[in-house]
């Protein structure tokens, strides 16, 4: 399957108490996705479901997770969850369309 290619970097800034991070290295990895994540972020931002930062986190997390699930759909971890996730995605797409149509 052809995929868009991404490089993801996660930098720990502070812990839950607001203390500076003890981690000296960023978490970095390369990953593919069948969707253009930048276009997904743009669509979700236009729908205004969340604020800008939350929208980016939601879109990236969702697309990274869903690609792993798609590529490993036969894995026991996803067998029970897959139908509910499919319904979630349908609901999300309907909400995004509804918000876009309202403009």
pLDDT digits (tens, 9 = 90+) for 45-60: 999 999 999 999 999 9
Total-model pTM: 0.89
- 70 — pLDDT class (breaks 50, 70, 90): very high
Total domains in the chain come to 1
Q: Which residue has the higher pLDDT, 88 or 100?
A: 88
Structural domain including 69 reads 4-101
Q: Is the pLDDT of residue 98 over 90?
A: no
| Short-list 26, 1, 32, 31, CA closest to 12 | 26
Longest dimension (CA), the chain: 46
Say what the pLDDT of residue 102 is.
73
Only one residue has tokens 């500076």, namely 20
Q: Which CATH number covers residue 82?
A: 3.10.20.850
């Amino acid at each position: 399957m052809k995929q868009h290619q991404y490089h993801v970097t996660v930098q720990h800034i502070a812990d839950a108490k607001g203390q500076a991070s003890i981690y000296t290295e960023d978490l970095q990895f390369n990953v593919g996705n069948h969707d253009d994540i930048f276009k997904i972020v743009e669509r979700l931002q236009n729908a205004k479901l969340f604020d800008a930062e939350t929208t980016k986190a939601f879109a990236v997390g969702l697309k990274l997770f869903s690609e792993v699930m798609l590529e490993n759909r036969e894995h026991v971890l996803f067998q029970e969850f897959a139908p509910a996730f499919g319904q979630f995605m349908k609901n999300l797409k309907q909400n995004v369309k509804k918000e876009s149509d309202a403009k």
